[in-house]
Amino acid sequence: MLWQTAQQAGKYWPRAIILVDMNAFFASVEQLDHPEWRGRALAVTNGKQGTCVITSSYEARAFGIKTGMRLDEAKRLCPDLIQVPAHPERYVQVSRAIMEALASLTPDMEIFSIDEAFLDVTRCQSLFGTPEAMGLMARELVFKASGLLCSVGVSGDKTTAKFAAKQRKPNGFTVIPPWQSKERLKHVLVTELCGIKSGIGGFLARHGVLTCGDMEKVPISVLAKRFGNLGRRIWYMCQGADPDPVHTQVASPKSMGHGKVMPPGTRDMHVVETYLMHMCEKLASRLRHHHFHAQHFFAGLRSREFGWLGGVGQTLQPTNDGREIFQLGSFLLAQRWEGESVCQIQVTALDPGSGGLQLDFFTAPDIRRCQINDVVDDINDRFGEFTIGPAPLLFRSATPNVIAPAWKPDGHRQTI
């Protein structure tokens, strides 16, 4: 009883999680670097020729402009909209500074995406005070490191902390003590929680679960039978008791790939081959950078009418050479693509690994090719991507790289 009284007075939480969520991150960085754009409607697109809104400033959102909206539609809603090509390297630079600053608060940090991080501050309470105080500290650290504002949610589990951070954006600060989480979520739609989309939401609706409070009507075994451990986690999430820990380590990759949107209606084989070579070389360089090889690859083209056209194949030996991956990719596309209109390409290594290579008795490694790749990587690392590369890549897409949702500042997920 005494422990509960102290807990409810804010002196100690059995578990304390902070979620830091940057406000319209890419757009905010652009407004930071260009003071003349502050307070104005702004949309970030993938390059000057980009036709889709990656993100927008809050001034633009007031006009109804959303992520994923076509640029022409956005300009109809806001004729004075400023289009800004994305600068991924700059966003990465700012994100790194923010994450390094937050790491000074606690080492127990999970970088959820380039603009979000979970902080487990349970063990820091005796050092820095209450979770609420540490939430305010986190917000101050972000501002000092970047000059940007953020929204902060503080609670006793990851899901409730993320929900809290969304409540008063932008620049919000919401605290939901763990003993209040279940009641606070009671009337919240389950689909408002992170990770519960229409598929899972539809399953829950068929079992009478529309709000988090409805979850008590359903035995945990029903969700476990359908979704396994994820189902068990969802059952607890809806009751303000998400058991998922803050993951401080990035798991080894199960796959590694690169893709790119192509000009709508692409049918030209030479264009397709250039895009394929571009993605194969990017993937190969990334595999080499992390000392990975792979033997099984997917290569495919996406058609709006027929879906993905491509397949899975394997090289003779595990490889990280772009030429070998390109040869396999060309073969796979030739089996399925017959000139249909396509709009996207993807090349993925399905079994990347860093273990020792078991070479075939009759297959000698191409030492000279490996040496060439090492020299090319050194030059490109120093002077920029594709300073040296296959000649056909002089005609590669001019659209800039993009930051994947699973980006991390270190390890195999740092590539953009």
Task: With a cut of 60, say whether residue 275 has pLDDT above it.
Answer: yes
Q: Which residues are catalytic?
A: 116
Task: With a cut of 50, say whether residue 2 has pLDDT above it.
Answer: no
Do residues 163 and 193 touch, judged by C-beta distance below 8 A? yes
Separation between Cα atoms, residue 238 and residue 182, nearest integer Å: 8
Separation between Cα atoms, residue 407 and residue 345, nearest integer Å: 20
Confidence of residue 347 (pLDDT cuts 50, 70, 90): very high
Type of residue found at 256: M
pLDDT of the residue at 360 = 56
Separation between Cα atoms, residue 343 and residue 198, nearest integer Å: 26
For 41, phi then psi, to 5°, come to -70, 125
Do residues 45 and 71 touch, judged by C-beta distance below 8 A? yes
Cross-strand partners of 153: 19, 174
For 73, phi then psi, to 5°, come to -65, -40
CATH architecture for segment(s) 256-413 = 2-Layer Sandwich (3.30)
Confidence of residue 405 (pLDDT cuts 50, 70, 90): low
Separation between Cα atoms, residue 19 and residue 121, nearest integer Å: 11
Type of residue found at 181: S
Domain ranges of the chain: 12-23+94-182, 25-89, 195-237, 256-413
Fold classification of 25-89 is MutS, DNA mismatch repair protein, domain I (3.40.1170)
Rounded mean pLDDT of 262-284?
A: 93
pLDDT of the residue at 363 = 56
> Which residue's structure tokens are 């986190």?
138
pLDDT of the residue at 68 = 87
The per-residue pLDDT for range 221-230, each reduced to its tens digit, is: 999 999 999 9
Confidence of residue 379 (pLDDT cuts 50, 70, 90): very high
Task: With a cut of 90, say whether residue 12 has pLDDT above it.
Answer: no
On average, the pLDDT of the chain sits at 90
Q: What is the CA radius of gyration of the chain?
A: 24
CATH architecture for segment(s) 12-23+94-182 = 2-Layer Sandwich (3.30)
Type of residue found at 239: Q
Task: With a cut of 60, say whether residue 357 has pLDDT above it.
Answer: no
pLDDT of the residue at 3 = 37
The per-residue pLDDT for range 109-165, each reduced to its tens digit, is: 999 999 999 999 999 999 999 999 999 999 999 999 999 999 999 999 999 999 999
Alpha helices in 121-216 (DSSP H): 125-128, 131-146, 158-165, 181-185, 198-206
